[in-house]
Chains A and B, each alone.
Chain A
Amino acid sequence: MTADQGSVVTHPAIGTAVAAGFGSRLTGWLTATDHKRIGLMYITAAFGFFLAGGLLAEAMRAELAQPGLQFMSEATYDELFSMHGTLMMLLFATPVATGFGNYLVPLQIGAPDMVFPRLNALSFWLFLFGGLIVMSGFLAIGGAGNAGWTAYPPLSEQRFSPSTGMDLWIVGLLLTGIGSILAAINIIATVFTSRAPGMTMLRLPVFTWGMLTTAVMMLFAFPPLTAGLSMLLLDRRLDAAFFDPARGGDPILYQHVFWFFGHPEVYIIILPFFGVLSEIIPVFSGKPIFGYKSMIIAFLAIAGFSMSVWAHHMFTTGAVDILFFSAASFIIAIPTGIKVFNWTATMWRGHLRFPTPMLFAVGTIYLFVVGGITGVLVASAPLDFGFQDTYYVVAHMHNVMVTGTVTAMFGGFYFWAPKALGRKLDERLGKLHFWSWMVGFSLTFLPMYQLGVSGMPRRYADYVSTSERDMLNMVSTIGALILAIGVLPFLVAVVAALRRPKDQPDDPWEGGNSLEWATSSPPPEHDFVTIPRIRSERPAWDLHYGGTSGTERMDAAGTEADHG
């Protein structure tokens, strides 16, 4: 029997669909090699880690609502912020982007699957098991990893972090890192080898370009992390001395290796969601993306520069060339600015519609610009020395990272849910979700800029009480509560949608551009029965609306390739 996408299986002998029990459905998911299923598994698992990381954040904000220790010890607080950062950066944001890529890249390039489907499944399981190992630190003697998500030595060395949880943190991340490298290889190979006839590189959807550049960065950035973590593990378990200056080691080496991964990681997380925005905005603006080629060049420029700015995280070590890294950090704002300009220009004089995905896309631009501008300030070394390790950095980082990933991710969920699930998510719940998210986000993080300017350091469970700090912290905590409650409408919308029958057409938003909108919702096994002729970067739009692209007019009836 072969499992299909829904809750039925088709028996090859009798050729009829029969109802599948829970056991066979579970088996279907556990043994899946289909990219769509693996993509959904990535997204679901990563979202689970997101909810867990969010709960840790809520606990921290509750602790910080007032000065003094309320209900947790300082050691517990250390564990919470360390695991919050780890969960959000490495077990949510990176894998959820990989999940989107897994689901969408083969569909967008007209491929029946990833080129290495079994390897794809292995990547997912390595990520999931690695994540669970990291989380299992909470059950270990001495608690979870507590040296921050960066785990700088000597703090992360055995003598300062003796808990087993710290070791579990390292081996878990080693495993997820290897899974990420395998996933990157798969995505790169798929884009380069499995494109449908006519799908040239300059007709690839912008999202696929985002995933391709992301995968290339993952390929080059994750191995240094793996090396750094391996050295740290050897230091801890076998008494090596890579990072022990007393025995000839150098803790700055770890910072170099970590940030050579860590700064590209910021863009590894964000670029796929820049791609998501670049798919959503044209559809609801009724126009092609403005400056397609400049978007691609901007992706490549961001990817390139992101590999050469890592040491701006290390200005205060005094061990790096500040001028070089400061200049490179300023320069990287230019391609990012090009993207924001192009999204705005796409909307300019468009036939704008504002369903939930578009609201999240516009909200992302607004919040991201705030984060981007504050990032330019900390790229300036004199200001960076002042803001280092204060709440200003926390606010900027969340303004960029949470906006660039989570806000855009929700837009992507609402946008592609009809394709993946065959059902739209409820619009009223979506709008409630959007507005509570925007209000909650602003209330949570905008006060942190002022807290940082006032000198409040991050990563402490307590702070010196002043009337301004008490008030701003309370506002921030209330914002975090709104943020958390605001996710509930989304969860309700997903559950409600799954209880309805599948009723969505190929192109539910009536204006889809890329190839996934030219197949059924949800797509069949191996994605396409027929693929439209591809003569522009908008093949689905050409197929459905007979449009023109440049000087070419699309043959709307063209169905020449069969990937069934």
Chain B
Amino acid sequence: MAEEIRFFIRTATFALLIAVVYWFHSYELLGTILLGGFGVAATFVAAAFVHGLLAHGWRPSGRPLSWLGLSGGPRTPIGDEPTRYPAPGCAPLACGAGLALAVLGAVYGPPPIVIAIPFLAFGGWSWLRSAMAEYRAVEADGGEVPQD
């Protein structure tokens, strides 16, 4: 876990540092916003990892930075799911086709969107049904239920 958090914290630090250097070097707004946004996004990902860590029951303790996982923490990765993987299914294909038709609505107006609706409805329903079946099967196995 520590390396995942470190990875994104370093990314965020690098981006924010470069943003500061760039601003004082150029006073150019757009580039600074892009670099700063890169840093904020990396910070967000790191925060999400920390949140996941805390959700798994781990609590901060020890030295100041240990709560970030920089000196210990759980050995198992976040979201370590039981080995149950989806069977083949047409949900991704239906969702993909539906989304493709839906974006064509931006060019050709409502007709493609109307055609997309059954694809998206069927794909979404099929996706949820498969996911719920797997969820129940994992529960029945007594395994850990995946965190969504």
Contact = CB atoms under 8 A, between A and B. Distances in A.
Interface of A: 2-3, 28, 30-34, 112-113, 115, 117-119, 121-122, 124-126, 128-130, 132-133, 164, 167-168, 171, 174-175, 178, 189, 192-195, 201, 216, 219-220, 223-224, 233, 237, 252-253, 256-257, 260, 304, 307-308, 310-311, 319-321, 323-324, 526, 563
Interface residues of B, number: 47
B26 A324 contact: yes
Contact of B85 (A113, A219, A260): A113
Given A130-B100, A133-B100, A167-B106, A224 B34 contact: yes
A167 B21 CA distance: 38
A308 B35 contact: yes
B127 to A, nearest CB: 6
Given A28-B88, A118-B130, A122-B92, 6 more contacts: A117-B86, A122-B95, A129-B99, A129-B100, A175-B103, A237-B107
B66 to A, nearest CB: 19
A252 B96 contact: no
Instruction: Count chain A CB atoms within 10 A of each CB in B4, B22, B41, B103 and give the residue with the most.
Output: B103
Interface of chain B, main secondary structure: helix
B25 A126 contact: no
B69 to A, nearest CB: 12
Contacts, number: 134
Nearest to B45: A219
Interface in B88-129: 88-93, 95-97, 99-100, 103-104, 106-107, 127
Interface string B76-92: 01111101011111111
B142 to A, nearest CB: 18
Contacts of A563: 83
Given A167-B106, A253-B30, A321-B28, A118 B77 contact: no
A125 B85 contact: no
Contacts of B77: 192-195
B42 interface: yes
A117 B85 contact: yes
A193 B79 contact: yes
B50 interface: no
Contact of B92 (A125, A192, A257, A260): A125
Contacts of A121: 92-93, 96
B73 to A, nearest CB: 13
13 contacts: A31-B88, A32-B88, A115-B79, A126-B99, A129-B99, A171-B104, A256-B31, A307-B35, A310-B34, A323-B25, A324-B22, A324-B25, A526-B83
A31 B28 contact: no
Given A30-B90, A113-B85, A304-B14, A189 B104 contact: no
Nearest to A327: B25
Given A118-B91, A118-B130, A526-B85, A220 B41 contact: yes
A224 B34 CA distance: 9
Contacts of A174: 103
B18 interface: yes
Nearest to A34: B88
B109 to A, nearest CB: 10
A167 B107 CA distance: 6
A112 B83 contact: yes
A260 B34 CA distance: 7
A274 to B, nearest CB: 19
A304 B104 contact: no
Given A167-B106, A168-B107, A171-B107, A33 B85 contact: yes
B11 A304 contact: yes
B41 A3 contact: no
Best-surrounded residue of A3, A193, A219, A233 (most CB of chain B within 10 A):
A193
Interface string B16-28: 0010011001101
B67 interface: no
Given A32-B88, A194-B77, A321 B107 contact: no
